[in-house]
């Protein structure tokens, strides 16, 4: 039976619609073991973009496993509302709200300076602008939010992660990244006609490219870095940014909790999942499905140099 489910899992994944939908989740869920109750008791977790959707669902899942959770949010009112929901669902949970605009490197620096300890760091904050937008620091908005901000935050929290007995970092990507190659030649989308959905997918591809790079960078400290995509989930972000997609796929969409499941699993599973990999529904997935998206020689190195310089990494 497990072999059949594995085959169906792979077929569903490659066909996209069955694998990314709520039906793919339900199929795969049959073979999963539950996480240990209290698996994160005493652990400190940070979740960006935790005011709604997958971020809020992730924070709730981590709190249910005993973690103390910091909701890193741009809109503190949404953050406080999310906090109230989580505490109502998990009485006694320690949940804090902290302001952080992940697209702003200065905001990320201020936020990181407030964090005393962290065992789990989840990079979930996301944007999908319809027009090319530049931050106050001069960076294209999706690139700043999905790439530079998470990169800088992880590096600033490096010593605190290293102090943990089991530090884990999760980058929440998107299945849309499969349509794009790594644009090391134009990381901030300065060329061609700007399309928000393309910018989103490009930067989600960049997040996946960061996973092995950061795994190697932090290997000596034992910091495990994971990438994942949640499938198609019914969240306020999807409804607001992609209304046409939301209308067409509404019957297929997962709940935010289903989308967040693999994030929580990566944060809490024992034994720990293999670092430096890309996951969906608790299983390692290929990072390329189309030959045209494969990296060209030198792309990854050029991409890293640009990002490290832009984020001011040493």
Among all chains, which residue has been given the structure tokens 């890193």?
72
- Residue 160, phi-psi category: left (phi > 0), alpha (psi -120 to 50), beta (remainder): alpha
| Partners of residue 233 on adjacent β-strands | 254
For this structure, is 200 an active site residue?
A: yes
Peptide bond into 271 cis (omega under 30): yes
The CB density around residue 116, as the number of other CB atoms within 10 Å, is 6
What's the rounded Cα separation, in Å, for the pair 234 and 121? 23
Bridge partner residues of 140 (DSSP): 134
- Tokens standing for residue 131: 């027009």
Strand partners, 111: none
Active-site pick, 20, 200, 218, 306: 200
Beta carbons within 8 Å of 243's beta carbon, 6+ residues apart:
none
Catalytic residue positions, numbered: 200
């Amino acid at each position: 039976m497990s072999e059949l489910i594995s085959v169906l899992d792979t077929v569903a994944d490659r066909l996209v619609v069955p694998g990314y939908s709520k039906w793919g989740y339900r199929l795969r869920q049959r073979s999963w073991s539950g996480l240990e109750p209290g698996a994160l008791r005493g652990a400190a977790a940070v979740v960006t973009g935790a005011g709604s959707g997958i971020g809020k669902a992730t924070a709730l899942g981590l709190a249910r496993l005993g973690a103390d959770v910091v909701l890193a949010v741009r809109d503190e009112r949404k953050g406080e509302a999310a906090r109230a929901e989580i505490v109502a669902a998990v009485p006694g949970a320690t949940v804090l709200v902290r302001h952080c605009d992940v697209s702003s490197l200065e905001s990320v620096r201020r936020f990181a300076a407030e964090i005393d300890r962290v065992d789990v760091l989840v990079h979930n904050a996301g944007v999908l602008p319809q027009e090319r937008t530049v931050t106050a620091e001069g960076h294209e908005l999706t690139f700043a939010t999905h790439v530079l901000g998470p990169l800088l935050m992880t590096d600033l929290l490096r010593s605190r992660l290293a102090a943990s007995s089991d530090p884990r970092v999760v980058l929440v990507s998107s299945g849309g990244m499969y349509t794009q190659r790594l644009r090391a030649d134009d990381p901030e989308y300065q060329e061609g006609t700007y399309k928000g959905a393309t910018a989103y997918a490009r930067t989600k591809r960049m997040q996946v490219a960061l996973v092995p790079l950061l795994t190697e960078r932090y290997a000596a400290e034992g910091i495990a870095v994971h990438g994942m995509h949640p499938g198609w989930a019914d969240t306020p972000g999807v409804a607001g940014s992609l209304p046409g997609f939301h209308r067409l796929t509404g019957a297929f969409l997962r709940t935010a909790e289903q989308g967040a499941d693999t994030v929580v699993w990566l944060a809490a599973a024992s034994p720990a999942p293999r670092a430096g990999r890309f996951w969906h529904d608790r299983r390692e997935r290929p990072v390329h499905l189309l030959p045209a998206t494969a990296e060209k020689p030198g792309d990854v190195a050029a991409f890293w140099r640009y990002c490290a310089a832009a984020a001011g990494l040493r």
